[in-house]
Copies of this chain bind each other. A is one copy, B any other.
Amino acid sequence: MNMGSILEGIPIEIPEELIDTICSTDNVKIKRIISRGHTSHRGFWYDQEQNEFVLVIRGSAGLKLESEDKIVVMKTGDYLNIGAHVKHRVEWTDSTCETVWLAVYY
């Protein structure tokens, strides 16, 4: 039985964005991502082979999709389904608390 809490085991200091793989098969990966003020590096775009479903469990963030003019603001409970090779980057994450994401790559 593989169980746990996505809200527990968060370190006090998070010098780098923290990524834990919760579940992994050939087709699907489920990860917890924890940010605190982290953003994508300047000029960097994610360009992924797989689709990504991403859900904000706690906190907030701004995502930029290359195809959209405006930054997508995401708060607790918001999800976004990002198709494979849809270029995107994290413009900002809440600097006052952790932003906890669930990401499903499929």
**Identical copies in the complex:** 2
Interface string of A80-106 (1 = CB under 8 A from B): 110000000000000000000010101
A106's partner among B7, B25, B51, B76 (CB-CB below 8 A) is B25
Q: Shortest Cβ distance from A42 into chain B, in angstroms?
A: 24
Q: List the interface of chain A (C-beta within 8 A of B).
A: 1-8, 22-23, 25, 27-28, 30, 51, 53, 55, 57, 65, 68, 72, 76-81, 102, 104, 106
Are A77 and B3 in contact (CB-based, < 8 A)? no
**In the complex, are the beta carbons of A104 and B8 less than 8 A apart?**
no
Distance between Cα atoms of A63 and B51 in the complex (Å): 30
Closest residue of B by beta carbon distance from A81: B2
